[in-house]
């Protein structure tokens, strides 16, 4: 066993931070050296960005504090290049870090580059600073009785629209979506979601494709203009080009192509997790969520710990379990799912759903703290029979 083994984790979001902490616990007697690299020292709770956008103040969590006692070295900086042949990372264009094993956890962000004006006229929930600026502008728009448009009817868009409408009752909120909001849910859960939108006065434009974001309106493909004094963009995903630029094998979206053990097919010393990995199981492709990301981090930390000790590893197994959606602070809907994320009959609404959703949102931080001294599992479902054999 190599006690000088160097592990670098790129990205300290939900997956990167968890993998670093769990790795430290799993390799604590091996002498392995772990370094975590991230541009900010603040841990971003992406699950709560819509709360910040609605004007709520949330507790700040510092990455060095969350790492305290683990032995993990934290480097605040941006990874600007990877040399996979020399196994070196360039940070902020200057400092270099060598590695024997790399955990690539750079995640994803909202893509504002495909629709004209979205990058200059719309806000996103990509980080607390942008969400905070949106909240400041929201107060001004609400005071003048203006209109807010939320572009994108996925679960993030629904959470943002309902949170904003609840926090500013006199505000006009329009949710614009190409597909039906909550379309992946069962009929009863979806009906509850629509009742919440109606109760909060959110106008829903479905089947609408946005072609341009203007300073005071959103232009749709059919030529209509929807008034918009403030626009929140929640649709479309992009990932860092770092892996592709380094010559690491990626798919057409820039996600690292991985094998059944979440190792790069071109550079097996690189492990990709969360939104950064193109993961396909027997039942289909994993889409990026915290629900799937934390299990990939757990699995990868355990896999690396076994590899360092010269032990064999088993393929990654995972199945979806639920779709938790907040509908403001006083309502929520939880759709329970099959492993492939299609809806089961069971769902929760009302107070029980609110408590459930809060438990889900708070669980990563609890997991990090417990993982310093014990192995905490984040895998609710391994996918059943469908994942017993790796995907072809």
CA 333/CA 327 separation, integer angstroms: 7
**Which structural domains are found in the chain, ordered by start?**
6-107+240-318 (3.50.50.60), 118-233 (3.50.50.60)
The fraction of the chain above a pLDDT of 70, given in percent, is 99
**Mean pLDDT across the chain, nearest whole number?**
96
Tens digits of per-residue pLDDT, 312-367? Answer: 999 999 999 999 999 999 999 999 999 999 999 999 999 999 999 999 999 999 99
**Nearest-5° Cα angle at 270, 266 to 273:** 110
Q: 361-377: string of b/e by CB count within 10 Å (b at 16+)? A: beebbebbeebbeeebe
Token readout for 371 is 């993982």
pTM of the model: 0.96
Q: What is the pLDDT of residue 3?
A: 63
Token readout for 243 is 């892996």
CA 33/CA 54 separation, integer angstroms: 41
Tens digits of per-residue pLDDT, 127-169? Answer: 999 999 999 999 999 999 999 999 999 999 999 999 999 999 9
What is the SS3 assignment for 334? Answer: strand
Tens digits of per-residue pLDDT, 68-87? Answer: 999 999 999 999 999 999 99
Phi and psi of 156, rounded to 5°? -65, -45
CA 391/CA 180 separation, integer angstroms: 30
CA 365/CA 303 separation, integer angstroms: 22
Tens digits of per-residue pLDDT, 6-65? Answer: 999 999 999 999 999 999 999 998 999 999 999 999 999 999 999 999 999 999 999 999
| Signed CA dihedral, 238, 244, 246, 248: sign only | positive
CB 164 within 8 A of CB 194: no
């Amino acid at each position: 066993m190599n006690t000088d083994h160097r592990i670098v984790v790129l990205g300290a979001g939900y997956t990167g931070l968890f993998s670093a902490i769990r790795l430290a616990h799993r390799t604590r007697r091996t002498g392995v050296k772990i370094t975590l690299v991230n541009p900010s020292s603040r841990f971003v709770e992406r699950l709560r960005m819509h709360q910040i956008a609605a004007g709520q103040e949330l507790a700040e969590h510092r990455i060095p504090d969350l790492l305290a006692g683990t032995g993990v070295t934290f480097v605040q900086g941006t990874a600007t290049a990877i040399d996979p042949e020399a196994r070196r990372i360039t940070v902020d264009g200057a400092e270099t870090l060598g590695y024997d094993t790399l955990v690539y956890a750079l995640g994803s962000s909202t893509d504002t580059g495909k629709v004209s004006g979205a990058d200059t006229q719309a806000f996103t929930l990509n980080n607390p600073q942008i969400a905070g600026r949106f909240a400041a502008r929201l107060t001004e728009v609400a005071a003048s009785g203006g209109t807010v448009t939320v572009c994108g009817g996925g679960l993030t868009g629904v959470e943002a629209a309902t949170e904003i409408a609840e926090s500013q009752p006199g505000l006009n909120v329009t949710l614009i979506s190409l597909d039906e909001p909550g379309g992946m849910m069962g009929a009863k859960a979806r009906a509850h979601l629509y009742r919440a939108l109606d109760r909060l006065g959110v106008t829903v434009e479905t089947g609408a494709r946005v072609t341009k974001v203007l300073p005071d309106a959103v232009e749709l493909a059919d030529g209509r203009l929807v008034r918009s004094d403030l626009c929140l963009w929640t649709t479309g995903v992009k990932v860092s080009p770092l892996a592709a630029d380094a010559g690491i094998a990626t798919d057409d979206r820039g996600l690292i192509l991985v094998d059944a053990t979440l190792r790069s097919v071109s550079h097996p010393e690189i492990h990709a997790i969360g939104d950064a990995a193109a993961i396909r199981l027997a039942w289909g492709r994993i889409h990026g969520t915290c629900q799937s990301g934390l299990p990939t981090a757990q699995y990868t930390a355990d896999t690396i710990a076994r590899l360092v000790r010269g032990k064999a590893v088993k393929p990654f197994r995972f199945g979806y379990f639920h779709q938790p959606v907040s509908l403001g602070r006083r309502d929520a809907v939880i759709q329970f799912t099959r492993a492939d994320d299609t809806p089961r009959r069971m769902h929760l609404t009302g107070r029980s759903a609110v408590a459930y959703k809060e438990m889900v949102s708070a669980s990563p931080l609890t997991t990090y703290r417990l993982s310093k001294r014990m192995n905490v599992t984040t895998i609710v479902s391994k996918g059943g029979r469908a994942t017993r054999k790796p995907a072809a």
